[in-house]
Amino acid sequence: MQEEKNPWNKNHLWLDEIALLSDIIAKTPLQEAKKWGGIVYVFNNKNIIGIGGFKNYFALWFFNGAFLKDTSQVLIAATNTTKALRQWRFTSKEQINEKLILQYIHEAIANEEKGISFKPQKNSSIESSFMNCEMENDSILHTAFQQFSPYKQKEFLEYIETAKQEKTKISRFEKIKPMILSGIGLNDKYRK
């Protein structure tokens, strides 16, 4: 029988450490679930934490970690775009502090019971004067762009508008124009 793939464990460096984290989490009321090909722990069908191994570290992440007190200063926001998720990274088994981990998990569960969680904002539509100008000059491009769903249109517009320099906007536009004309969404290759 083939072993189930887990995209959060791209290598097998951390199997013992992740097993230890799983044993600690088993002492809580969280239920293990497989989501997005990885291990996630839920409470009342809400994602509370996930665990996984990466190249240089293994991690425990809290889906609503931004609301934790983090008195021990162990949580980090992984990227600039992260809103609520916070990671607790480890590089050795010796760094695992069961008492502290359980304290953070129980706080996360208490927050969930209180309804404290990140509520995504409904973003207003994005305007791109650059794209508007390009579509005004090319009716075929405009028609092709209108065939995309609103969220795919937004992905294209954000891709253009997050560029700080005009030359970057131009190079990004040159990259996506054939995609738009071919009916291929910006992130379609990542969707199954």
pLDDT for residue 180? 94
pLDDT for residue 1? 43
- CATH 3.90.1150.200 range(s) for the chain read 15-113
| DSSP designation for 188 | G
pLDDT, one tens digit for every residue, the chain (192 residues): 444 555 544 557 899 999 999 999 999 999 999 887 788 999 999 999 999 998 899 999 999 999 999 999 999 987 777 788 999 999 999 999 999 999 999 999 999 999 888 877 666 677 888 899 899 999 999 999 999 999 899 999 999 999 999 999 999 999 999 999 999 999 888 776
Is the model's pTM score more than 0.85? Answer: no
What topology is assigned to 15-113 in CATH? Aspartate Aminotransferase, domain 1 (3.90.1150)
> Is 69 exposed, middle or buried (CB count within 10 Å of its CB: 0-12, 13-18, 19+)?
exposed
Backbone dihedral angles phi then psi of residue 135, each to the nearest 5 degrees: -75, -30
Whether residue 41 contacts residue 31, with contact meaning beta carbons closer than 8 Å, is answered with yes
pLDDT for residue 118? 81
Residue 183 backbone class (left: φ over 0; alpha: ψ -120 to 50; beta: rest): left
**Continuous segment of H or E residues that includes residue 40:** strand 38-43
pLDDT for residue 4? 52
